[in-house]
Amino acid sequence: MPNFEDDLRSAFDRATDGTGTPDALLLAVRTLVRELKVTGQSPEAVLIHVKQLCGLPLAAIAAGDTDASADASLTKQISDMMVRAAIDEYYLRGQAGGVAPESKLDGSGDVSPSR
């Protein structure tokens, strides 16, 4: 049986150290989110679990915090991309016949659904 948690942790580490790809991370997070959702996990529990696996803070930093909002590091961009993908996978998977639309990755970290 695959260990989706280890896969996500490994993909996140590789993406943040430059040896992995964002696509591999997105695949790992989407796979884990689908598995957790099938077991009845709430969206909040899924997001907390994903963040904990990758060592991310659980609370968002307020937008008014200029030091935090100035952080455009690669790790922060990858973390934000991963969290958005987890949320999208959880909610979009249940729409439009049960298939989440493909997301685009244009280098900006934007994983919004393609139009």
Q: Is residue 109 part of a domain?
A: no
Helices 22-38 and 4-17 sit at what angle, rounded to 10 degrees? 160
**Sign (positive/negative) of CA torsion 86, 91, 96, 98?**
positive
Report the pLDDT averaged over residues 58-85.
74
The strand pairing partners of 103, in sequence order, are 113
**Structural domain count, the chain:** 1
Q: Is residue 114 part of a domain?
A: no
Mean pLDDT of the chain: 79
Q: Which domain holds residue 33?
A: 4-98
- pLDDT bracket for residue 64 (50, 70, 90): low
Residue 105: what pLDDT?
Answer: 43
113 has a pLDDT exceeding 50: no
